[in-house]
Amino acid sequence: MVRKVIRRGIVAFLSAVILISVAACGLELSDVIGPTVKIGIAFDRPGLSTYRNGAMRGFSGTVARAVAFDLGYSSRQIEWVDVNDSTQDDLFATGKIDMLVGASMYSQKYTNGRSTEFAGPFMKSHMGLMTRGGTEDDKGSDVRELQNSTQLTQVQDKSVCVVKGELQDDFTPQQLVTFESTAKQMFVQDSYSQCLSALATATVDVIVGNVVALEQLTHAATGQKFSVTEIKDSTISYGIVVPAGDDRLHAKIQNQLRDFALSKRWEKAFRPIARKSSLPYVRAMKAPYVEQIILDPAQ
């Protein structure tokens, strides 16, 4: 009898601690999606999000954990799910992910029929071009012009690889048509690692993507040199995506990202990328402006 009373007392105490912890975060029980939170994120983006031996590393991974903690989850309650632009819709529809971290604004803005809400951005950077190192590629064509390129138009008549969804924020469908038609060949892949393989084997001349992701990719590549330049008149924004309709959850995450950007947590999380970068622009990157959403008390 005494043991039963003790057990009941322990359970009651732990329950109270959980409730107090949730309340301290400014959350209600309705904000907690379930016993675990399923976070969709790309598994193969060096410096941003890489999953190895059960651990998520990188800047986007740090942002994801910070948001999960603010929603009342511990590290053990996070389920990491590998996702890309092609699998996002199905994973949301089947309930296999609750949110997607590291999605580009472009991927949500210009995809027909995509019913999502974009929170953030938690990172804004320039686009970039990645080429093989040296002055000549394996086919004998001069690549110095590409290595010095600062405009997307300079990849005309080249074989180009892009990751699906990884284009600048204001890239319209018509611009995409023009971009594809002026390239010698256009390869659209699901991941940066696939584009890297195509570049390394001279299947393509250049990769177009987020300059931060491209430079981090060069650090992870072994046995071959690559060059990265930034496209200065472009912006790609990364944020967190949730299904449309849950205005409260969207607002919560938006405001959590705002707090993260305004605190020193953003700078601390991005510091490993800045330190390894040889690009002055990346070394000087700062947290983006994140607009606050005022929650309706009735929600």
Q: How far is CA 37 from CA 34, 64, 71, 101, 184, in A?
A: 7, 11, 9, 12, 43
Between CA 265 and CA 66 the distance in angstroms is 9
For residue 121, cis peptide bond before it (omega within 30 degrees of 0): yes
pLDDT for 111: 63
Whether residue 273 sits in one domain with residue 138: no
The residue range of the domain holding 162 is: 126-235
Q: What is the pTM of this model?
A: 0.83
Q: What is the pLDDT along the chain (299 residues), one digit of tens a residue?
A: 433 333 344 334 333 433 334 444 444 444 545 589 999 999 999 899 999 988 999 999 999 999 999 999 999 999 999 999 999 999 999 999 999 999 999 999 876 567 899 999 999 999 999 999 864 554 545 455 555 555 566 678 899 999 999 999 998 888 888 888 888 999 999 999 999 999 999 999 999 999 999 999 999 888 889 999 999 889 999 999 999 998 999 999 999 999 999 999 999 999 999 999 999 999 999 999 999 999 777 65
- Maximal CA-CA distance, the chain: 85
CATH number at residue 196: 3.40.190.10
pLDDT for 172: 86
Residue-wise burial string across 31-49, b where 16 or more C-beta atoms lie within 10 A, e elsewhere: eebeeebbbbbbbbbbbbb
3-state secondary structure of 261: helix
Whether residue 118 sits in one domain with residue 36: yes
3-state secondary structure of 34: coil
The answer to whether residue 245 is domain-embedded is yes
Number of domains in the chain: 2
Alpha carbon 83 to its chain centroid, in Å, reads: 10
Whether residue 167 sits in one domain with residue 37: no
Whether residue 115 sits in one domain with residue 105: yes
Token pair for 169: 């924020």
Q: Angle 264-276/59-70 helices, nearest 10 degrees? A: 170
